[in-house]
Amino acid sequence: MSSLDNEASENSLTIKEWQRLSSLSVIFFIGKLLTKIVKDMLPSLAPLGVIIFTSDNKSFILMLVAIGASSLILLSSLLQYWFFKYKQEGDKVLINDGVFKKNKRVIAFDRIQNINILQPIYFKFFNLVTLQIQTAGAKGNEADLAGIPESLANNLRNIILEKKSQTLSGKYQSNEELVNDFSEQKSEIIASASLMDLTKYGISSNGMFWFFVILAPIMGMLDDILEKVFTKEDIQGIIELLGGGLSGKIIAVFLSVFTVFFLMFTFSIIGAIFRYYHYQLTQTKTFSGSNSEKQSLTDITFKRISGLLTRYEESLKLNKIQSFVTKTNFIGKLLAVEHITLGQVSSGQKNQAQKQSTFIIPARTFEQTKTLLNNVFDDSPEEIETQRISKRYINKTVALKLFLPSLIVSLPFIIFNELYWFYLLPIVIPTIFLPLVYRRWKAYRFGMKDGYARFERGLFGYRHITFPLYKVQRAEVRQSPIQRRRNLATLKVYLASNQLQMQYIPFDVANEWLEEINKAIHLDKRPWY
């Protein structure tokens, strides 16, 4: 596969000449293009599907569409492979790509946020991988080096991580000096997930709702197809088979709902297994110092490996972690498991690629969560006592989000149609939803201890966020006119990973938080990133 393989076999630490990807990267480009089509174009293609399946010559038309689409996708992927070239030059990676619109990218090492290695099943037998490079401010991956030798990808990743570590520590060394000075690395597995853990994760995560997200764009097309496959006589026959009459219809509806939920949970479990199979999270501690000097801890890196058909290998340095998030839904509470997300530095752009790169640790017990929190923030307190927000939250929610909208909806029916029983609507709706508002109020809690803060919220499940105060970028205390009269305020906290807020807390408490956060920002000199 060109001179690239020879350089990798010799463990070369640089890629001085322009290189092409492996020819197998065409498969990667095909998959990338198909994903884009499904994500962006599938809803608009639904009418075409209806036309094809309702046409008299649907087999012939379907064949023509399939041949034309396949030819275009294959040609586009071949051209993307042919025009994609890359090389390393000093402390940066250079990439040239684009078919008609040429792109020239220079990716400096100090801009790189994360480096992940993926090995799809079609690369596995050839020892090839995809090296994903993510940078600050970019939408998704800045570059995907698909189909490069695994040894070359590991070498390139190590070079980037080592030089970034040197930059953070305020020193720079040559490769020879680095080898002489580097002493030891100690690794230990701190989390793993069995098939039972992944099953629990599948049925207690929001992944099951992706079933409806994927199904929604093609729902209209499915309706037309099902109408042709199942006639009214077929449906009536099924009802008769289930006993007929009202009871048969109720059983049919129940079985339909059960089937949808069964498919939803199955879809989520299969997705969890495909993504997190053989999950292992490793913590690597790097110690430096020459033989004559005492070793010192210079770096801690978390590395996770997972995946069934595609092997994912992702790394995250400890100093990049901004927050420790535990969350679960009501099913997870029944199973006594929660899922952990390590909040990273982000570009502030909420896009799909960013969500995919989220560092998730699935299906942990409460004790395992405490242990992992201690691994991430070793100086965090064991428990942070929290307090509730003001009950004014209940009054505001009931008045502004339940009573007022119900009143606005009911007035036209009362005034123009003289349907006076609609007067009951502004009373019935708040009464029905009041228990949920109360439950949500009870879940809103906040607390601070020994330089760490904890925000909690939830309804049927919960989401708890723990973060060190010194990693806060800035904090604000805001008051609306209503809050000012009640001596309440909203506290907003901006982390490099996300934005948090806690409403309806006492004004003096909010100012105490603001003072503590500002003190931590100015006095604590530990690197936040």
DSSP string, 421-479: GGGGHHHHHHHHHHHHHHHHHHH-EEEEETTEEEEEEESSSEEEEEEEGGGEEEEEEE-
**Residues contacting 116, CB < 8 A, separation 6+:** 131, 132, 134, 312, 313, 314, 315, 357
Q: Name the CATH architecture for the domain at 3-172.
A: Roll (2.30)
Q: Which helix (H) or strand (E) holds 287?
A: strand 279-288
Question: Strand, helix or coil at 118?
Answer: strand
Q: What is the pLDDT of residue 333?
A: 92
Task: Report residue 156 CA to chain centroid gap.
Answer: 25
Distances (CA, A) of 78 to 37, 120, 149, 344: 17, 19, 20, 35
CA dihedral angle for residue 49, residue 50, residue 53, residue 57, rounded to 10 degrees: -90
Strands in 445-449's sheet, in edge-to-edge order, are 359-364, 338-343, 323-328, 462-468, 452-458, 445-449, 387-388
Q: Which residues pair with residue 488 across a beta bridge?
A: 506
Distances (CA, A) of 388 to 398, 450, 502, 506: 18, 19, 10, 10
**Residues contacting 333, CB < 8 A, separation 6+:** 460, 461, 462
Q: What is the pLDDT of residue 3?
A: 39
**Which structure tokens are listed for 489?**
């305020």
Task: Count Cβ atoms within 10 A of the Cβ of residue 278 and give its class: 0-12 exposed, 13-18 middle, 19 or more buried.
Answer: middle
Task: Report residue 277 CA to chain centroid gap.
Answer: 17
Q: What is the pLDDT of residue 11?
A: 40
Nearest C-alpha neighbor of 455 from the set 507, 509, 492: 492
Indicate the domain borders of the chain.
3-172, 196-276, 392-440
Q: Report the C-alpha gap between 461 and 323 in whole angstroms.
A: 19
Q: What is the pLDDT of residue 218?
A: 56
Bridge pairing between strands 128-135 and 112-119: antiparallel
Question: Strand, helix or coil at 205?
Answer: coil
* Segments in the chain below pLDDT 50: 1-13, 171-179, 292, 347-357
Do 409 and 402 form a contact (C-beta atoms < 8 A)?
Answer: no
Q: Report the C-alpha gap between 372 and 85 in whole angstroms.
A: 41
Q: What is the pLDDT of residue 496?
A: 86
Predicted TM-score of the model (pTM): 0.79
**Which structure tokens are listed for 470?**
């010194």
**Which structure tokens are listed for 120?**
């799809």
Q: What is the pLDDT of residue 10?
A: 38
Do 305 and 311 form a contact (C-beta atoms < 8 A)?
Answer: yes
Do 497 and 322 form a contact (C-beta atoms < 8 A)?
Answer: yes
Do 477 and 458 form a contact (C-beta atoms < 8 A)?
Answer: no
**Residues contacting 274, CB < 8 A, separation 6+:** 307, 308, 309, 310
